[in-house]
């Protein structure tokens, strides 16, 4: 009998088979069940999910688009593994692009948007207090994605998503391995919202830089 890859098969309603496979593998990566460098075997996963290999390939493509999987020539597809240099480079680019996204987003945001950001911030805090690594990471990413979306620039959104998603995953897995207490290492997102509300681009830039680098410093990565 072929051994299965470690994954919790979470029920996703109203999804196609490829979307279901994509979401399940994505969640397994975020939660650390599939660690960086793990090879994603097409045939094994097709049997595990009871789907065709073409559906697995479609899910792999989606994972590659958001930076969670990497195609290795002559070997196959693996969960994205980043070197210290790659982490630093992604951090630098993410910080620069997120500043641009925030500058554009504040032009399109209204009171309802800021209220939504506060709600998303509360979800992060709730996950922190419960020390739920996966939930906290997903909630954190959703907070930032909301702002990226409000920039109304699809290329900017997709680029940030591809660059930053593996970083959020990395931090989540690292915190889990080190058994860190989230309420001690994660920071409030309210100061981020407050900076956006000032519409002061200098203050926004300082807040984005501080917010994006503090977490990475905890795992030994510093921005220039």
Q: What is the pLDDT of residues 41-79, one digit of tens each?
A: 999 999 999 999 999 999 999 999 888 899 999 899 999
pLDDT at position 173: 79
CATH 1.20.120.530 domain locations along the chain = 84-217
Q: Tell me what the mean pLDDT of segment 108-117 comes to.
A: 98
- The stretch 123-151 carries a mean pLDDT of 92
Q: Report the pLDDT value the prediction gives residue 220, as an integer from 0 to 100.
A: 66
pLDDT of the residue at 11: 61
What is the predicted pLDDT for the residue at 5?
A: 62
User: CATH 1.10.10.10 occupies which residues in the chain?
Assistant: 17-79
Instruction: Look at residue 1 in the predicted model and tell me its pLDDT.
Output: 30
Quick one: pLDDT at residue 67? 86
Q: Which residue has the higher pLDDT, 222 or 37?
A: 37
| pLDDT number for residue 120 | 96
Secondary structure of the chain as H, E, C letters: CCCCCCCCCCCCCCCCHHHHHHHHHHHHHHCCCCCCCCEECHHHHHHHHCCCHHHHHHHHHHHHHCCCEEEECCCEEEECCCCHHHHHHHHHHHHHHHHHHHHHHCCCCCHHHHHHHHHHHHHHHHHHHCCCHHHHHHHHHHHHHHHHHHCCCHHHHHHHHHHHHHHHHHHHHHHHHCCCCHHHHCCCCHHHHHHHHHCCHHHHHHHHHHHHHHHHHCCCCCCC
- Give dist(CA 32, CA 46) in Å, integer: 21
- In angstroms, the CA 175 to CA 181 distance is 8
Burial degree of 224 (CB within 10 A; 0-12, 13-18, 19+):
exposed
Please, are residues 66 and 163 in contact by the beta-carbon 8 Å criterion?
Answer: no
Higher pLDDT, 166 or 198: 198
CATH fit for domain 17-79, picks 3.40.50.2300, 1.20.120.1730, 1.10.10.10, 3.30.450.20: 1.10.10.10
The candidate with the shortest Cα–Cα distance to 171, out of 23, 6, 29, 7, is 29
Q: Does domain 84-217 have CATH number 1.20.120.530?
A: yes
Distance CA 33, CA 10 (A): 13
């Amino acid at each position: 009998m072929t051994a299965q890859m470690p994954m919790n098969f979470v029920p996703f309603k109203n999804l196609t088979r490829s979307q279901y496979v994509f979401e399940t593998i994505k969640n397994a990566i975020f939660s650390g069940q599939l660690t960086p460098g793990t090879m994603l075997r097409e045939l094994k996963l097709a049997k595990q999910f009871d789907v065709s290999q073409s559906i697995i390939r479609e899910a792999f493509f989606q994972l590659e688009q958001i930076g969670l999987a990497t195609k290795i020539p002559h070997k196959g597809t693996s969960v994205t593994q980043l070197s210290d240099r790659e982490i630093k480079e992604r951090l630098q680019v993410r910080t620069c692009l997120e500043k641009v996204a925030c500058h554009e987003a504040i032009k399109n945001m209204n009171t309802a948007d800021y209220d939504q950001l506060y709600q998303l911030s509360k979800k992060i805090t709730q996950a922190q207090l419960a020390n739920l690594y996966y939930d906290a990471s997903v909630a954190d990413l959703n907070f930032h994605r909301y702002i990226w979306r409000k920039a109304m620039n699809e290329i900017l959104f997709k680029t940030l998503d591809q660059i930053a998603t593996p970083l959020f995953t990395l931090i989540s897995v690292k915190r889990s391995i080190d058994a860190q207490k989230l309420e001690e290492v994660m920071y409030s997102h309210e100061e981020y919202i407050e900076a956006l509300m000032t519409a002061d681009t200098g203050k926004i830039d300082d807040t984005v830089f501080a917010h994006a680098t503090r977490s990475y410093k905890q795992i030994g990565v510093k921005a220039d």
